[in-house]
Amino acid sequence: MKKKIRFKGKLRNYLYWPMLLTILLLLINIGVYFYDTKSGVVISGFLVIYFVVELAFYCYNKPHLVNEIINFATRYATVQKRLLNEFEIPYALLDVNGKILWVNEEFANLTGVEKTYHKSITTLFPSVTREFLQKNGDNSNISLALEEKRFRISINRIYVDSITEEGELLQIDGSDEFLTALYLFDETLLCHYMAENQEQKQVAALVYIDNYEEALDSIEDVKRSLLIALIDRKVNKYFAEIDALVRKIEKDKYFVVFKYKYLQQLREDRFSLLEDVKTVKVGNEMSVTLSIGVGIQGDSYNRNYEYARAAIDLALGRGGDQVVVKEKDDISYYGGKAKEVERNTRVKARVKAHALREIMEGRDNVIIMGHSISDVDSLGAGIGIYCAAHALGKKAQIVINNPTSSIRPLMECFSTEKGYPEDLFIDSDEALEMVGQNTLVMLVDTNRPSYTECPQLLQETDYIVVFDHHRQGSEVVANPLLSYIEPYASSACEMVAEVLQYFQEGLKLESQEADCIYAGILIDTNNFMTKTGVRTFEAAAFLRRCGADVTRVRKLLRNDMACYKARAEAVRQAEVYRNSFAISICPADNVESPTIVGAQAANELLNIIGIKASFVLTEYNGKIYVSSRSIDEINVQLIMERLGGGGHLNVAGAQLTNCTVLQAKRIIQDTIDEMLKEGDINE
């Protein structure tokens, strides 16, 4: 398109004024005609000559005037160019394709190119491509590196039309092209100071000895001081290597402060102090284990300490022997490979029982809730809490949405004919209607709100109590009145059975109530073969004294033929991965409780020689449920945590969404490969 140059603004008005004066003279000429015709003719002749001379003068001088204006602008631009050339900020002018048209001295010195360099900007900065320049408009920024320096590039477009529109003298039509102004800001020092400031931030950590009393009790009195001194030496030496401040605040607790830059070093060696302290042996039968909680990235020193407190509570709640690093809502876990240490003392159970009684006495009613797709352990624990509430004369109800075939026979034992209320078992909708401001919501066999039968129920009251035997994860119940989480316990029913013994003197259980709680222990321990300790048998003995009958429980727990065939099919189709891991898919067709059948199949696969861990996948209700089991060599809880689940060292599970069963199987295999490579599990 041919471009036209036109005058505009005040210059145009100034040049057009003599011709506009012709209009005024014409009006005067018309008036003269009314008085004297000859005079009017003379004036008309003069007017014609005036207009012709003025028009000729304008046409003749216009090109010269334009040239003078352009020459002046050029000389003015030269001054501007000189100033821009000496500008302290590196600056470059690019065409629409990213070709360098001009650079100032700072840009040339910084990039090491000549001022006559007219190649593409991509040759200097590969990330600044033609497509990037076309896609990004004004005020676009990009950070990049050149050799050892860090830069921020700011980009602005300069349209040709916009240049002339802003001018007051000339206007160029017919151009829609643009140039690109590129500013280069050296942020090397800024990035360095920001990184240094980050590295100098304070990190707060709490170090607790998990089994202090138990370890001391296992050695002679004269060696106890030596054991304590060796542990102190290990802790102080480990943190002295990173210039940390260590203070012993209690006999089994340490407070540690160090710089953030050393945290990555600790992460890379996987907090080797956990394994190092286990080597302390002075005759003690039990290895000493530590739990460490680390708080980082808080907006104050106090906030970091709060994060460290939350992290250490989470580490202890998960069984100890691990490190938890908390960064606001982001939580990382390290260690946790050792089996939880069972504590023979029942002091904690007695304290929790008294605390639960006090909480219940001040509430109007109790709503008990377990995890979704309730199993026998969840139901048994709920029945135990119902018995405690009933002993205080409080109305208690259990939330179960869709009872499965595995718990339906047990639920039928609590009919109105046997003296139980008709609304003992309610669904989520009924629970939301029953909950009030003074209602106690009792959570059993789970500590994750999203896993419960009705997560919304937890938002309707401020009075929440949690009883669970699973390790805690990053998702926890916010501000419960009472939290009793013991990962070493075999089942929630075992915990509830212990609490009932101290809840109220002379508390008696009906035979069907004892049967239900006993069944929960039986299922979660796989007939007392998994996670069974002294306290497990003591709880079973208490239930037996209350009237639990082994034969009656066995009949209640029998499977139908469809479930048995599905379990057998899962075992038959099992694939052995890396000669140690059994992975199978449990069919869900014609099975009412496929997830429970999958868990049973995972237990069965451990009876095969050479199998260290088993994984059974079940597709149910749009999710992939993974049941994982091991005997003692593989920590399946760590594997399931990688998949967003959790559990125990030998019993764990996870739920996967947005994938098929075959994809979930591939995910498990990839996770095993990754953890074997990292050394988190051993083949």
Q: The domain spanning residue 106 has which CATH number?
A: 3.30.450.20
Residue 437: what are its φ and ψ, rounded to 5°?
A: -70, -25
In DSSP terms, 275 is beta-bridged to none
Residue 213 token pair: 């009393």
**Residue 477 within a domain:** yes
- Over 571-594, what HEC string results? HHCCEEECCCEEEEEECCCCCCCH
Which residue, among 647, 650, 652, 655, has the nearest Cα to 620 in the 3D structure? 655
CB distance 127 to 141 below 8 Å? no
Cα–Cα distance list, 419 to 397, 489, 493 (Å): 14, 32, 23
Mean pLDDT of the 488-516 span = 92
229 and 362 together in one domain: no
Pairing of strands 140-146, 149-159: antiparallel
302 and 439 together in one domain: no
Residue 640 token pair: 């399931």
Q: The domain spanning residue 632 has which CATH number?
A: 3.10.310.30
**Residue 157 within a domain:** yes
Q: Is 522 a residue whose pLDDT tops 90?
A: yes
Q: Which range among 203-207, 329-333, 388-392, 584-588 shows the weakest confidence by mean pLDDT?
A: 329-333
Identity of residue 84 = L
Rounded to the nearest 10 degrees, what angle do helices 347-361 and 376-391 cross at? 60
**Residue 342 within a domain:** no
State the pTM of this model: 0.63
In DSSP terms, 635 is beta-bridged to none
Rounded to the nearest 10 degrees, what angle do helices 534-545 and 492-503 cross at? 60
pLDDT of residue 74: 57
447 and 570 together in one domain: no
**Residue 567 within a domain:** yes
**Residue 293 within a domain:** yes
Kindly provide the b/e burial profile for residues 226-236, where b requires at least 16 CB atoms within 10 angstroms of the residue's own CB.
Answer: ebbebbeebbe
Separation between Cα atoms, residue 157 and residue 96, nearest integer Å:
9
- Given 335, 366, 394, the domain boundary residue is 335
One DSSP character per residue, 330-377 reads EEEEEE--SPPPPP---HHHHHHHHHHHHHHHT-SEEEEE-BSS--HH
Mean pLDDT of the 347-376 span = 91
CB distance 314 to 300 below 8 Å? no
79 and 92 together in one domain: no
544 and 617 together in one domain: no
- Given 506, 533, 556, the domain boundary residue is 556
Give the pLDDT confidence of 536-595 residue by residue, as tens digits. 999 999 999 999 999 999 998 888 888 889 999 999 999 999 999 999 999 988 888 888
405: Cβ contacts below 8 Å, ≥ 6 apart: 560, 563, 592, 593
Q: Which residue has the higher pLDDT, 589 or 8?
A: 589
Residue 419 token pair: 């003296």
**Residue 683 within a domain:** no
Q: Is 167 a residue whose pLDDT tops 60?
A: no
* Angle in degrees, CA 567, 570, 574, rounded to 5: 145
Q: Which range among 65-79, 290-304, 387-401 shows the weakest confidence by mean pLDDT?
A: 65-79
Q: The domain spanning residue 238 has which CATH number?
A: 3.30.70.270
Cα–Cα distance list, 131 to 60, 96, 126, 332, 426 (Å): 47, 10, 12, 39, 61
In DSSP terms, 258 is beta-bridged to 203
90 and 80 together in one domain: no
Q: Which range among 130-139, 250-259, 346-355 shows the weakest confidence by mean pLDDT?
A: 130-139
Mean pLDDT of the 62-87 span = 63
534 and 591 together in one domain: no
Residue 330 token pair: 């982001």
Q: Which residue has the higher pLDDT, 91 or 355?
A: 355
Average pLDDT over the chain, rounded to an integer: 84
Mean pLDDT of the 96-121 span = 80
3-state secondary structure of 653: strand
3-state secondary structure of 180: strand
79 and 151 together in one domain: no
Mean pLDDT of the 354-364 span = 93
CB distance 169 to 69 below 8 Å? yes
Q: Given pLDDT bands bounded at 50, 70 and 90, which one contains residue 175? A: very low
Cα–Cα distance list, 46 to 17, 26, 41, 223 (Å): 18, 11, 9, 130
Pairing of strands 365-369, 330-335: unpaired
pLDDT of residue 663: 94
Mean pLDDT of the 663-667 span = 95
114 and 75 together in one domain: no
356 and 424 together in one domain: yes
Q: Is 437 a residue whose pLDDT tops 60?
A: yes
546 and 493 together in one domain: yes
CB atoms within 10 A of CB 264: 9
Q: The domain spanning residue 360 has which CATH number?
A: 3.90.1640.10
**Residue 119 within a domain:** yes
In DSSP terms, 208 is beta-bridged to 253, 291
Domain count for the chain: 5
**Residue 343 within a domain:** no
pLDDT of residue 169: 47
pLDDT of residue 494: 95
pLDDT of residue 1: 42
Q: Which range among 30-44, 73-87, 97-111, 307-321 shows the weakest confidence by mean pLDDT?
A: 73-87
Which residue, among 490, 369, 358, has the nearest Cα to 432 in the 3D structure? 369
- Given 84, 108, 137, the domain boundary residue is 84
133: containing domain: 86-194
Q: Is 31 a residue whose pLDDT tops 90?
A: no
Residue 327: what are its φ and ψ, rounded to 5°?
A: -125, 95
pLDDT of residue 453: 92
CB atoms within 10 A of CB 164: 18
Mean pLDDT of the 325-350 span = 74
48 and 187 together in one domain: no
